[in-house]
Amino acid sequence: MESLSQSFRALGDPTRLRILRLLAAAPLNVTELVSLVGVAQSSVSHHLGKLRGLGLIREERQAGFTYSSLAVDAADVRWPLIQLAKGAGDGEGDLARLEDLLRSREDRQALNERLLEPGQSWFLWSSALSALLPPLEVCDFGCGTGVLSLAIARWARRVWAIDQSAAALAQARARASREGVRNITFLREDLHRLSLPDARRDLVVISQSLHHVEAPAAVLKEAHRILKPGGKVVVLELMPHREEWVRERLGHRHLGFEPEALEDLLEDAGFTELTRETHARAGAATFRVFLLTGTRR
């Protein structure tokens, strides 16, 4: 009863109620909430602290950002409060702005997936490889909305599409459902610490993902751990660049890598027979990519 009473008092604040209603609709970070409710970041952080202290919301780190989301469900005695908040009038226009924000977020995700795919060559090669490769057990590290995972699924026996973003995985599942693809298992996990067993996969693909993670060396070691002896890793990454805007807009933690540095990390993880291909700069293109492969001993 005390918890219910405290929750009633906490939600007596109109701004706090607006924030809770938004978080009941979608996970959001502080910057996004500031843009939606139109109050200072310090005030939003204060309200989030109150809601978190009552166990009404939770926090989760994704792609370099901290997202808050609703932490209660229909089994909680406070659920009727959430329902009242969700059903309240939207005189401030919060939900309309939220719809625009989520659409913009999807556009950023699409940009992130297109940005590093010169000529969409991965997807063209995937179609060609379907007639050449044996059926493999494949992991797609940092699958995002599943575009590459579905392309791989055309020739793989089974694909494990792994990402830490619940929103991205929801889009990936919907994409697979629309296209009738059934040989993909979607996993919401941290690439640094996977639950997959040792030495069971044939191929790990890490496309455009290492610049999002905190510790690339740890992710490469996980790739090595889950691969069978003789299994392959394929890494597509950015050359070093100075485009700082990708940190905030796309959640990049690293502004590209020197190919030699990633080769050293692959060797440290236990990979041998390394190969490298560098994509030539196209005109005034800002980004260049390189491709590394390696084999588990």
CB 263 within 8 A of CB 277: no
Last residue of a domain, one of 53, 85, 105: 105
Residue-level pLDDT at 119: 40
| Measured CA angle at 78 (ends 73, 81), to 5 deg | 100
Report yes or no on 64 lying in a domain.
Answer: yes
Residue-level pLDDT at 118: 42
Do 130 and 96 share a structural domain?
no
Other beta carbons less than 10 A from residue 80's beta carbon? 11
| Cα separations in angstroms, 50 against 59, 74, 95, 235 | 13, 21, 22, 43
Task: Enter the tokens of residue 65.
Answer: 């950002």
Last residue of a domain, one of 71, 105, 139: 105
Residue-level pLDDT at 126: 58
Do 216 and 135 share a structural domain?
yes
The CATH number given to whatever domain includes residue 59 is 1.10.10.10
Report yes or no on 110 lying in a domain.
Answer: no
Residue 160 to residue 201: CA distance in whole angstroms: 10
Do 241 and 219 share a structural domain?
yes
Residue-level pLDDT at 5: 59
Residue-level pLDDT at 283: 47
Last residue of a domain, one of 76, 105, 134: 105
Report yes or no on 48 lying in a domain.
Answer: yes
The CATH number given to whatever domain includes residue 225 is 3.40.50.150
Dihedral over Cα of 223, 144, 274, 183: its sign: positive
Residue 166 to residue 106: CA distance in whole angstroms: 13
pTM of the model: 0.65
Instruction: Tell me the residue range of the domain where 255 lies.
Output: 116-296
Do 149 and 75 share a structural domain?
no
Written as tens digits, the pLDDT of the chain (297 aa) is: 556 556 656 666 788 888 888 888 888 888 888 888 888 888 888 888 888 888 888 888 765 678 888 888 878 777 877 787 777 777 777 888 888 777 766 655 655 655 544 444 555 555 555 556 678 999 999 998 898 899 899 889 999 999 999 888 998 999 999 999 999 999 999 999 999 999 999 999 999 899 999 999 999 999 999 999 999 999 999 999 988 888 887 889 999 999 999 999 999 999 999 999 886 554 456 788 899 999 998
